[in-house]
Amino acid sequence: MNVKPVWKFLAIVFVSVLTVCSAVTCYFDLDGSVEVKDIWRMREYSGENGFVIMLPRENELPAIANGIVHGVEDQNSQTQEEIPPVVSEPPLPSWQPSGEYTEIDRLILVNKEYPVDQNYIPADLVQLEYRASNRSAEWQVMTREAADAFNQLCSDALLEGYEIVVTTAYRSYEFQSYLYNSYVEKDGQAAADMYSAQPGKSEHQTGLAADVSSPSVQYRLTSEYGDTAEGKWLSENCYKYGFILRYPKGKEEITGYIYEPWHIRYVGQEAAKEIWETGVALEEYLGKVPDSMSTETNYSAAIDEIADDDR
């Protein structure tokens, strides 16, 4: 038997092993996993079940994103990079419907450019549970879906020590006409148009909007409400229940009205969360910003409070 080819083969294998070991250092951790330190421009990943994957840099991000590997060591920098943990957001509040919901257009836009029909009356109006006692109960109603969300909002706020109640919610075309005309008579149309909607152009007629207040401001509608503990809680949490602050500060030229920290509008939890996270007005969210916005109206000088009355 000619042993030379065998020894030649073994010699080649031995040299190859030495070459590989000079380039790659392997060692075992106590948990049985194998880690590999590589001198080339590669990155090393320890697999979930103990195996090691070497990936070129251009392939590493997809592997991390797909959760295939974890743990990274760069041989040049010798620094260990930790993949940030996935932080799950707490679930939004939920509640049991008080009855069968009538289909509604949660994202209906009603403003100075998009009026609602004079004869429009929302279906399924129900009484709200949390109400200001010094206002008429007739106008403290909303569509059932919005009402359930509002009641849950007020209930959760109260558990945290914040009393929030509705002053008025749904308003008929006729009631809004009465309010608007009284403001025009008192302050003039230019001023009234900055804080009160003309009949047919009020969100309140949809049954999806509500004016709220608290005892800390004697249940008034005032810009000071935004600085109260209740107003801050409302601003930071109403989106969780499907509501937005409809007329936020800094968006007056878009919404056409002064800052109203008391006026909330139901749009549903998904849309409310997106609007809250992006900080846009409803017009911006819907892509219906007015073509010509007034830059001469002095909203900051407008009357921001009408005691014992409604907007």
Helix, strand or coil, per DSSP, at residue 144: helix
Rounded to whole angstroms, how far apart are CA atoms 282 and 289? 9
Residue linked to tokens 């509008």: 265
Active site residue 48: no
Helix, strand or coil, per DSSP, at residue 43: strand
Positive or negative torsion for Cα 144, 148, 150, 155: positive
Helices (H) and strands (E) in the chain, counts: 9, 12
Nearest alpha carbon to residue 45 among 69, 66, 25: 69
Of 145, 260, 277, 296, the active-site residue reads: 260
Listed in sequence order, the residues at least 6 apart from 56 whose beta carbon sits closer than 8 Å to its beta carbon are 41, 42, 43
Nearest alpha carbon to residue 225 among 247, 240, 251: 247
Residue 212 Cα distances to 55, 130, 209, 286, angstroms: 58, 10, 10, 25
Residue 235 Cα distances to 12, 129, 211, 309, angstroms: 74, 21, 13, 22
Rounded to whole angstroms, how far apart are CA atoms 142 and 9? 87
Crossing angle of helices 229-237 and 144-159, in 10° steps, is 130
Rounded to whole angstroms, how far apart are CA atoms 208 and 298? 28
Q: Which residues are catalytic?
A: 260
